Structure 1
Amino acid sequence: MNKKNDTPRQLHKRGKLLKRGYWTGAAAVLMLCVLATPAFAAGSDPLTIVNNLSDFIFSIIKALGVIILGWGIVQVGMSIQSHDASQRTQGFLCLFGGLLIAFAKEILTAIGAI
């Protein structure tokens, strides 16, 4: 098998591509070094950060609980209108489940878990 040699034009193209890749990478590294900004922590106590995160997560859970509670109220109202006992049971379960989820943090603090 005879391997064809690259023409000088192809070697020139390959050299240009390698040079362009090198300078692009060098420019990217330079930009990362020059444009890096330091991040300063907001507080010195890590416990406050954890408490803030916990409060944020519980507020999301409370919002979901209120949404489920509202859907339960809608289901109970629709079941009363249509006289459907199974839908009424489902509505009350959704309503009480939404109440439990909405007040999860208060319930956990009342029993001493948090």
Structure 2
Amino acid sequence: MKQIKKWNKKTKHIFLIFAILVLLLNLTLHTCHAAGDPLAVVNNLSTFIFGLIRAIGMILLGFGIVQVGLSLKSHDPSQRANGFLTLAGGIIITFAKEILDLIIG
């Protein structure tokens, strides 16, 4: 097994300077200039989040359709009820933005 070579005084000094430089560069405040309307950024983020929610709702909607179809084939009423609940939840989640817009006005 190789022994780790001990650092001499010069190497420790160079490493200390490097570490201080890295910390100073990471901890200094950087100014940034916004190029547009700050509300546009919030609206873009809102659109992105509602797009993700819509995708999750579509997945639940598809899963609910499959569950209802399987319950009709197997004549299982509890699975059918779960399928319709999943289907209704998927519809509500898919159209969440439109529902909120109707509520807000």
Q: TM-score, normalised by structure 2?
A: 0.76
Please say which structure displays the higher CA radius of gyration: 1
* 1-structure distance, mates of 2:15, 2:41: 43
Report SS of the residue matched to 1:41: coil
Q: Hey, what does 1:71 align to over in structure 2?
A: 63
Q: Hey, what does 2:88 align to over in structure 1?
A: 96
Shift of 1:13: 4.7
The correspondence for 1:41, drawn from 19, 34, 58, is 34
The number of residue pairs the alignment matches comes to 97
CA shift in 2, pair 1:13/1:101, >3 Å: closer
Report SS of the residue matched to 2:88: helix
RCO higher in structure (CA 8 A, sep ≥6): 2
Q: Hey, what does 1:111 align to over in structure 2?
A: 103
The correspondence for 1:18, drawn from 9, 12, 15, is 12
- RMSD after superposition: 2.6
Aligned AA for 1:100?
A: I
Q: TM-score, normalised by structure 1?
A: 0.71
The correspondence for 1:53, drawn from 40, 45, 56, is 45
Q: Which runs of 5+ in 1 are unaligned?
A: 1-11
